[in-house]
Amino acid sequence: MVPISAIGLMAWGLISPRSDTERTGDCGYYTDPTRSGWDFHRRACTDPDAVLIITSAWSTRKCATGDMDFSRDRRKNTSEPIKYLCTHLNAKVGECVNDPGNVYAHLHRLRKVPCGAGVFEVDTRVEANDPKVCDAARKQFRETASVTHTSPAVSFCLRKI
C-alpha cells in the first residue's frame, strides 16, 4: 500500500524525485524551492515560459563567478560533492521579463511575461560579457537593468516599461 501511495503523490506533484536529467542547452524555469526543492521545468527554448537556458548541467565544477546569481547548487547528502546547475537568461530583444532582479533565492520567480507597464523589456543583447551594455540605454530610459553572463559570454540591457 505504501509504494502505491508514493506513486500517487508523485503523480499529483506533492513529492518529486530528485534527478539529474537536465542537460546543457535545455531551457525552462525554476519552481518554488519551498515545495519540493529547486526543480527545473524544461520547455522548448522557443517556448514563452523558457526564461533560462542551462549552460552547464549538474557538474561538480562551479559555475563561472559572473553566472552564479542565475544558477543553483545542491548536494543530495553530506557525503557527496556539491553539484551545480548553471543557467543564463534566455531572451531576445523585444521580449519581457517580470524582474531581472529575481536571482539567487528569488530565481524561481523570474518569468517571461507579456510586455506592458511595470515589466522589463530586453532592449539590447550582445554576445559578449559587457558590463557597459546599458550605457547608451541609461541616457534614453529612466530605469534599466543589466544582466551579464561570463560562460558563455552574453549580456542584456533591459529597460523598465
pLDDT digits (tens, 9 = 90+) for 54-85: 999 999 999 998 788 898 888 888 888 999 99
Q: Is the pLDDT of residue 45 over 90?
A: yes
Q: Is the pLDDT of residue 4 over 70?
A: no
For 4, 48, 49, 123, 159, the CA distances from 44, given in Å and listed in that order, are 32, 9, 9, 23, 25
The distance from CA 12 to its chain's CA centroid, rounded to whole angstroms, is 25
Domain ranges of the chain: 21-160
Phi and psi dihedrals of 89, rounded to 5? -65, 135
Average pLDDT value over all residues in the chain: 85
Percent of the chain with pLDDT over 70: 84
Task: Report the range of poorest mean pLDDT among 8-22, 101-115, 129-143.
Answer: 8-22
Per-residue pLDDT tens digits for 23-39: 999 999 988 766 656 68
Listed as own residue / partner, the contacts of 71-77 with beta carbons closer than 8 Å and 24 or more positions apart are 72/30, 72/38, 72/40, 72/107, 74/18, 74/37, 74/38, 76/18
Phi and psi dihedrals of 65, rounded to 5? -50, -45
Closest CA to 158 of 93, 114, 105: 93
Strand order in the sheet with 153-160: 112-113, 96-97, 120-126, 153-160, 144-150
Q: pLDDT higher for 19 or 42?
A: 42
